[in-house]
């Protein structure tokens, strides 16, 4: 029976264009912005333009609870160089422990299922021009009992900055799969094309993030909108949502329709540290919570 279940799950994996962990949240900042913020610098977020970086050396760690024994953990380090930036991260999402049975339905033990990511990102500022470019390498390892799948993926991006109007424009391509030797044709991963916009408003303590994601396989375009409100020197408030509120609505409950696919969070700043507490509600009403710590040193 164990073999049947595993083969069924593997057939689903090989029959689709992306693995489940490609769309999960690893950063509490990301969930509080509702999935927006590809131009919000982060070493651990999976939703980030690789050209986006800040000038601070930062250690970041985050944990997100999806409930039902599912949780993600991540740790990342960013190091600024001369006109450039390098970062690396380790991320894991655990789907929990499962009972293992033999063909006679006799319990013989337990097995685990998890996805692990290792990534390295390099970004560089172009001299005498307000442009950053970046590339990210990601190694994905999927574990299901004794079965493993490995993928090597790349992301590339650029970010243009208009200093006078405090505006950023970005374009990035994610999930580039150069595994040309893959014999499983249906396992091809369709890249995501992302157009991003970020602006710091003049008369409001607000940073707006807008992201548009296009995937040729899904034949759809998704819109994400998020905002970061700077309340004072110690606190900021974050909120965001997306077009999934409309395209993936799965019930007619008023509360879920209004607040589904929406994130909210608060950031507390203390000396060289910041603490982010974020929550995100899916269209089904299921809520996930995350906590993130950033230390600049």
Q: Evaluate if residue 14 carries a pLDDT over 70.
A: no
State residue 8's pLDDT score.
36
More confident residue, 18 or 67: 67
Average pLDDT over residues 270-283: 95
Q: What does the mean pLDDT of the chain come to?
A: 86
According to the model, what pLDDT value does residue 291 have? 98
58 — pLDDT class (breaks 50, 70, 90): very high
pLDDT for the residue 180: 47
The per-residue DSSP string of 181-241 comes to T-S-GGGPPPPEEEEEEEEE-SSSSEEEEEEEEEETTTTEEEEEEEEEEE-SSSEEEEEEE
Q: Are 117 and 153 in contact (CB under 8 A)?
A: no
Tokens for 241, please give them: 């949502």
The three-state secondary structure class of 29 is helix
Q: Please, which pLDDT band fits residue 205 given cuts at 50, 70 and 90?
A: very high
- Of residues 92 and 14, the one with the higher pLDDT is 92
End-to-end CA distance of the chain: 52
The fold of 2-296 is Porin (2.40.160)
Q: What percent of the chain has pLDDT over 90?
A: 60
pLDDT at 252: 62
Give the confidence band of 146 by pLDDT, cuts at 50, 70, 90.
confident
* For range 137-143, the mean pLDDT: 91
- At residue 12 the predicted structure's pLDDT band, cuts being 50, 70 and 90, is very low
Distances (CA, A) of 220 to 79, 141, 211: 36, 28, 14
For residues 6 and 147, the answer to whether their CB atoms sit within 8 Å is yes
Domains of the chain, residue spans: 2-296
What integer pLDDT is reported at residue 145 of this predicted model?
73
Max mean pLDDT range (20-29, 31-40, 213-222, 252-261): 31-40
Average of per-residue pLDDT across 261-289: 95
The residue-averaged pLDDT of 112-124 equals: 93
More confident residue, 77 or 114: 77
The confidence score (pLDDT) of residue 249 equals 63
What does the pLDDT read at residue 190?
Answer: 78
Task: Specify the pLDDT at position 24.
Answer: 86
pLDDT top residue among 190 and 180: 190
Average pLDDT estimate for 37-49: 95
Structural tokens at position 89: 């991260």
pLDDT tens figures, 208-266:
999 999 987 777 899 999 999 999 999 999 999 999 888 766 556 777 778 889 999 99
pLDDT, tens only, 87-115: 999 999 988 777 777 777 778 777 778 89
153 token code pair: 């993926």
* Mean pLDDT of the region 184-208: 84
């Amino acid at each position: 029976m164990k073999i049947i279940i595993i083969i069924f799950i593997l057939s689903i994996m090989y029959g689709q264009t992306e693995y489940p962990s490609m769309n999960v949240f690893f950063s509490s900042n990301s969930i509080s912005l509702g999935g927006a913020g590809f131009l919000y610098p982060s070493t651990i977020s999976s939703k980030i333009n690789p050209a986006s970086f800040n000038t601070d050396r930062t250690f970041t760690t985050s944990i997100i609870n999806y409930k039902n024994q599912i949780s993600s953990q991540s740790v990342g380090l960013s190091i600024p160089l001369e006109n450039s930036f390098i970062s690396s991260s380790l991320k894991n999402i655990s789907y929990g422990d499962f009972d293992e049975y033999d063909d006679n339905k006799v319990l013989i033990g337990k097995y685990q299922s998890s996805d692990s990511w290792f990534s390295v990102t390099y970004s560089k500022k172009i001299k005498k021009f307000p442009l950053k470019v970046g590339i990210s390498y990601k190694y994905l390892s999927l574990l299901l009992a004794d079965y493993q799948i490995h993928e090597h993926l790349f992301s590339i991006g650029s970010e243009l900055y208009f200093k006078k109007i405090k505006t950023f424009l970005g374009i990035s391509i994610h999930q580039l799969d150069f595994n040309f030797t893959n014999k499983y044709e249906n396992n091809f991963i369709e890249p995501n094309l992302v157009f991003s916009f970020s602006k710091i408003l003049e008369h409001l303590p607000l940073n707006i993030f807008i992201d548009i994601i296009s995937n040729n396989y899904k034949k759809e375009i998704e819109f994400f909108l998020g905002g970061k409100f700077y309340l004072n020197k110690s606190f900021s408030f974050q909120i965001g949502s997306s077009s999934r509120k409309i395209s993936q609505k799965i019930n007619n409950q008023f509360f879920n329709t209004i607040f589904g696919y929406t994130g909210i969070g608060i950031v507390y700043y203390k000396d060289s540290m910041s603490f982010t507490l974020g929550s995100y509600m899916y269209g089904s009403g299921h809520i996930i919570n995350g906590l993130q710590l950033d230390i600049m040193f």
